[in-house]
Amino acid sequence: MRILTGSYNHTVDDKNRIRIPAKLRSDLFADDAGEGDKEKKYSLVFHTGTDGCVAVYTQETVDRILAPFAEVKLSDFERYKNVRKYLNTFETIESDPQGRFVLPLRFKKHAKIKKDLIICGTVDHIEIWAKEVYDQYFGIDEMDVPDINELVAKLDI
């Protein structure tokens, strides 16, 4: 898998279907020999992400993220209860042959998605945001361009 970057404007249709932009989809499945097959179905893991987005992962990435939870003991009741709650925020969704994913209502509600979306790459996963929430979260308006010098300094790059 490649590093996922970029942001794309999209919409959710009347049947709650979304398309993952081709560039992000090909980067997610970079190691997949059949990526050129237009009738191929894809499987991704959707998650109620932080800060009001929906996070979307490949199964391999989810396995890596969740591996430490296999060590939680049943007798550690409070931690085990929290692991259960967290695991219930993930759902594997398969695309239709046209590459569309049906966005379950719980994710749509969590992210306050009505119609317009921003889908962006975030290193090892993608995030789906309601456009209004994305713009508010990142403090973006049509005339605002982030100060790259300030970002580089904050990230200590």
Burial class (CB in 10 A: 0-12, 13-18, 19+), 37: exposed
Q: Which of 29, 26, 23 is nearest to 10 (CA)?
A: 23
Q: What is the pTM of this model?
A: 0.86
CA–CA separation, 157 vs 134, rounded Å? 24
CA distances from 39 to 1, 34, 98 (A): 21, 10, 6
CA–CA separation, 86 vs 67, rounded Å? 13
Contact 46, 54 (CB under 8 A): yes
Q: 145: which 2 tokens?
A: 């361009």
Going from N- to C-terminal start, the domains of the chain cover 7-155
Digitized pLDDT (tens) for each residue of the chain, 157 residues in all: 689 999 999 999 999 999 999 899 888 887 654 445 556 778 999 999 999 999 999 999 999 999 999 999 999 999 999 999 999 999 999 999 888 999 999 999 999 999 999 999 999 999 999 999 999 998 776 555 667 788 778 888 8
Contact 56, 20 (CB under 8 A): yes
pLDDT number for residue 66: 95
CATH of domain 7-155: 3.40.1550.20
Contact 72, 80 (CB under 8 A): yes
Q: Which of 32, 8, 17, 30 is nearest to 97 (CA)?
A: 17
